[in-house]
Structure 1
C-alpha cells in the first residue's frame, strides 16, 4: 500500500509543478527548480513508508508523467476556460 501512497503523491505534486513549469522558458533556473522540486518531499516519504528500492523507476516514471500532463493538459484546459 505504501507504493500506492508514494505514487499518488508523486503524480499529484508533479501535476501542479508541471502546470507552473509551463510558464517558464525551457532550461531556465525556475524551470529546472520546478522539475526537481518534488524530490526533497518524495525521497523522505519513500524512506518513511519503507518502500522497496525496486520501485524507484516507477516513481520516476510517474513523476515524469505528472510533469507532462501538468504542462500539456492542465495549461491547455486553463486556456480553454479563459477564452
Structure 2
C-alpha cells in the first residue's frame, strides 16, 4: 500500500474523532480520548500496510492526523452553528 493511501485512511479515521473533540470541553478525559483514541488505529494501518516506520512517513501521516482532527472540528462547529445566548466556543 502506498503512503498516500494510508495518509488518506488516517485522515478519514480522524474526522469523527475531531468532530467528537470539538463538542467537548478542552482538557477533559473525553477531549483527551478524542485525540488519542485513533492512535492505535493509525499504528495498525502502518503495520498492515507495510509502510513501516520510515522517518519520511512520519510528517505525512502526522499531517493527515492533524488535518482530520481539524476538519472534523470545523464540521462540528459548522453543523452546530452559533449557540443561542452565548458565543461559539473556540477549541
- If the length of structure 1 is used for normalisation, what is the TM-score? 0.83
Q: Compare the two structures and name the one with the higher helix fraction.
A: 1
User: Which residue is equivalent to 1:21?
Assistant: 21
User: Which residue is equivalent to 2:78?
Assistant: 77
Deviations 1:20-63 (A, max 9, x none): 11111101111011101111111121122111512022101111
Counting only pairs closer than 5 Å after superposition, residues 23-42 of structure 1 correspond to structure 2 as 23-42=23-42
Unaligned runs of 5+ in 2: 82-91
Larger Rg: 2
User: Which residue is equivalent to 2:61?
Assistant: 59
RMSD between aligned alpha carbons?
1.5
Q: Is the 8 A contact 2:13 2:38 kept in 1?
A: yes
- Report the Cα distance in structure 2 between the residues aligned to 1:41 and 1:2, rounded to whole angstroms: 17
Secondary structure at the residue paired with 2:50? coil
Q: CA deviation at 1:77?
A: 2.7
